[in-house]
Structures are given as structure tokens and as C-alpha cells.
Amino acid sequence: MSQSDDIENAVTAAEQAGHGLHPDPADPRLLRSALGQFATGVTVITAREADTGAPVGITVNSFASVSLDPALVLWSAARSSMRHAHFSNAAAFAIHVLKADQMAVAERFARNGNGFDGLAYCLNGDGTPLLEGALARFECVTEATHEGGDHTIIIGRVVRFQTATSGEPLVFAQGRYGSFAERG
């Protein structure tokens, strides 16, 4: 038997020995629950509406660094979101990494939240709405978009960023908000 046959047999044996569930599009809550075991930070992404230019925001936890050189980040916008078109077509956007005490901000931009109603913000040179008080903020221009199942993956080139000098991150896991606890 060749080395490639040995590898193929080992892979087959490992797959057959595996236990667990298969993703089922008819019942996505099981997979969602399993994914929810991974704690993430909480961000609010802001941009301008495609048609009116009004400020628009959305709470997401699908944020990640892609590259330091060039400075690239990504996040994923659900196609089912009523705000999807605004973000997937935006030339620029800002990512706000929220502090532990900013759960109310996260809820403002979640489904059925108040969004920008009554909230103070300013605009950067691109006209992107910026929120104050975030743990970190990344001002981006859209580098690329990619279709990824029921989401659009949006890659942004970071053109400016800022970091708070203090504060703990707002964390989301198992369907709940929380905070980071340091080990002593």
C-alpha cells in the first residue's frame, strides 16, 4: 500500500470514528447554539444608507483581523438583514469595538433597536458616522466583498484607527452579553 493510501485510510477512519451532528438547514438553531460556545467581542458597524445617505448601524460579532500589511479587517453581513444592502454597497464604514459598559449601544443597533435616534455621533471625512467611547474604532474603505452562504463577507482597508486608554471589552457568548474576567 502507498503512503497516499495510508493517509486516505487514516482520514476515512477518523471520519467514521467522529461523533456529532451534521448541519441541518431545516433546523439551524443547533448549529447556532454550537457556534455560540465561542465567545466573541461585540462591534457596531456604521455607514451611510445607500439611497438616502442617512446614518445606519448594525451590531455584529463577526469581526476579524485579516492582515497587518496591508491593514485589512473583515466582518459578515447577513443577507436576511434589512440593512444588508446599505453595508454591502457602502464605499466606507467604521467598526466600533464596544466596551463592557456599552451593552445599551449594542442593543440600539440590534434587530428592532433605536439605532441613531437620539444618539450623538459625528461624521468623518468620508461621511461615515462615528460613535464616541468605543474601546477601539477602525475607519475603513471597502476593499472587497465576497459571497459566503447566507452572508456577505466585507473586507475593509483600515485608513484610520483609535484605541481607548482603558476599558474592558463587551463579550457575547451563549446568546448573552457579558464581560471579560481576568484570571488572578
Q: How many helices (H) and strands (E) does the chain have?
A: 4, 12
Residue 175 lies inside a defined structural domain of this protein:
no
Average pLDDT, the chain: 89
In a domain, 9, yes or no: no
Q: Is residue 134 part of a domain?
A: yes
Query: Looking at residue 158, which CATH number applies to its domain?
Result: 2.30.110.10
In a domain, residue 29? The reply is: no
Count of domains observed in the chain: 1
- What is the tens place of the pLDDT at every residue in 44-96? 999 999 889 999 999 999 999 999 999 999 999 999 998 999 999 999 999 99
Flag whether 177 is in a domain. no
User: Is residue 35 one of the residues assigned to a domain?
Assistant: no
What domain range includes position 64?
40-167
pLDDT, average across residues 117-126:
94
Which three cell numbers, joined as nine digits, stand for 60? 455584529
| Inside any domain, residue 149 | yes
Tell me if 159 is assigned to some domain: yes
* Predicted confidence band of residue 37 (pLDDT cuts 50, 70, 90): confident
The answer to whether the beta carbons of residues 15 and 149 sit under 8 Å apart is: no
| Inter-CA distances, 8 with 16, 17, 19, 32, 51, Å | 12, 14, 19, 31, 53
